[in-house]
Amino acid sequence: MIETLGVVGAGQMGCGIAQVAATAGFPVVLNDLSDEHLQAGLATIGGNLARAVQKGQLAEDQRRDALARIRTAVDYTGLGDCDLVIEAATENEPAKRKLFADLCSAIKPGALLASNTSSISITRLASVTDRPERFIGIHFMNPVPRMQLVELIRGIQTEADTFTAALAFIAALGKTATVSEDFPAFIVNRILLPMINEAVYTLHEGIGSVDAIDTAMRLGANHPMGPLQLADFIGLDTCLAVMQVLHEGLADSKYRPCPLLVKYVEAGWLGRKTQRGFYDYRGETPIPTR
């Protein structure tokens, strides 16, 4: 039975997960590397909840109660009373492996562990923990409060009880689960990220400008966002990391990350979160950077 939730990583996904769980009535402990990250995360959640009240989607007392359910902790010992800890830290396998190994000694023996990874093998991440049978992939979509889907991914070692508890937790959040086998990037990103990568190749090869590519896919394929706008929204570092996992994991050159995507990441232009990516967000309206 999951009562208290821990979330490791207070970036865009961790904050979204914390917000949705707290709104659904779960006490949440939010962890990140520094108090600065945590305060920025709380400010984001506070702003999102206030906007939901303004739009009439949430009552004022629900906003207040949700915020009051979120505690912060700069180290993993603060997660000691959590029944489920979801990791939503940077998409980097060595960093996640270290994080999970460290986390195990701080959480209670029966606690479930989950990763929100976009692409990395759940079986491999589970293998560095002391409880691979209680480890599962719970992959939320961005932005978490708006997106209905959650992908559930069982590692080879995941036990049926862990899967059932995760399913019940997702239902309690009012979300819909799909099940994916544990192969690189699962279902959504196996399909979505190669499309985004192809859009970057289309830009790289000079076939169209940022504006032409995004307008073409919005108006020509009826996508709510153009692929380059979506890449900026996801984070270009995350997009590149997913393509690298697909490329290495499936050993097929069709997943080769576009060199232009690599260049943007090397420049530190990671999209919205750094205010520059395929668009420049520093002014009133986003301006294409190519």
Name the one range near ligand NAD by CB under 6 A: 11-19, 48-56, 60-68, 243-251. 11-19
90 binds ligand NAD (CB under 6 A): yes
9 binds ligand NAD (CB under 6 A): yes
Binder among 201, 273, 275, 290 for ligand NAD (CB under 6 A): 273
Binder among 24, 33, 187, 216 for ligand NAD (CB under 6 A): 33
Angle between helices 236-250 and 188-204 (to 10 degrees): 110
116 binds ligand NAD (CB under 6 A): yes
**Which is nearer to ligand NAD, 103 or 258 (by Cβ)?**
103
Binder among 48, 197, 238, 244 for ligand NAD (CB under 6 A): 238
182 binds ligand NAD (CB under 6 A): no
91 binds ligand NAD (CB under 6 A): yes
Residue with tokens 């990220």: 193
121 binds ligand NAD (CB under 6 A): no
Binder among 32, 151, 182, 214 for ligand NAD (CB under 6 A): 32
10 binds ligand NAD (CB under 6 A): yes
Footprint on this chain of ligand NAD (rule: CB under 6 A): 8-14, 31-33, 37, 88-91, 95, 99, 116-118, 139-142, 234-235, 238, 273
